[in-house]
Amino acid sequence: MPTNMDIIRAPETFETMKETQLTLDMLTVRIIEIKEHQTMKILPQFADVQFCLFAIDLTSYDRHLDDPAHTNCLRDRFQNLQGICRLPYFRKTIILLLLTNAAAFERQAIRSSPTRHLEDYTGADEIGAFTKYILKQCRKANRSNLPLFWHVYDCAVDGAAAQSMDHFFKQAAASTPAVSWLRAFGPSFC
């Protein structure tokens, strides 16, 4: 009988970086969390990593950062992704986009439409249209054309969702040799 595992990260304080290592069957996953204001100083240490897991909370479209520009949290995530994709350290990295809180988005969109918060969003207030918008913005941010895989994940995981997440990671891992082979032939193949 398969065992389901949820990873929940509660906010905690750490100085600069925190590393957690998980071993799943034959796969070892190192999760490295970097305090955001230290990111640019530390990222060179991770040159040539195979995967970058980049999470986007689908409910962040109507929240703003506490900064002078009152920056939209979702737009800030797109800018962070663009910054990562531009760095020369990640030229051979596969970006795994994890779109979280799908069910919460559906409830939130009823009372707070994304069209009121995102001037360039013209889709419906439902998860399919919003996911397409998110992926379009992520592709724009990915100016280096890094391989990009995505998965919509909700914290309310049932057995099928857990299997779907497992399939997402296995499929991304299986693509590594193919992507490496294409890169060996140069940018005209990627």
DSSP state of 64: B
Query: From the CB of residue 77, how many other CB atoms can be counted at a distance below 10 Å?
Result: 20
Q: 116-125 in b/e burial notation, b at 16+ Cβ within 10 A?
A: ebbeebeeeb
Determine the pLDDT at residue 25.
Answer: 66
Determine the pLDDT at residue 3.
Answer: 45
Structure tokens that stand for 151 in this block = 């998965």
Determine the pLDDT at residue 90.
Answer: 84
> By C-alpha distance, which of 56, 65, 43, 63 is closest to 153?
56
Query: From the CB of residue 134, how many other CB atoms can be counted at a distance below 10 Å?
Result: 22
In the chain the domains, ranked by start, together with CATH numbers, are 48-184 (3.40.50.300)
> By C-alpha distance, which of 114, 79, 73, 81 is closest to 97?
81
The pTM assigned to this predicted structure is 0.71
pLDDT by 10s per residue, the chain, length 190: 444 444 445 455 556 667 777 776 666 667 776 666 556 667 777 777 778 888 899 999 999 988 888 899 999 999 989 988 888 888 888 888 888 888 889 999 999 999 999 999 999 999 999 999 999 999 999 998 988 888 886 655 555 555 555 655 566 556 555 555 445 544 433 3
Structure tokens that stand for 134 in this block = 């998110």
Rounded-to-integer distance, Cα 9 and Cα 18, Å: 12
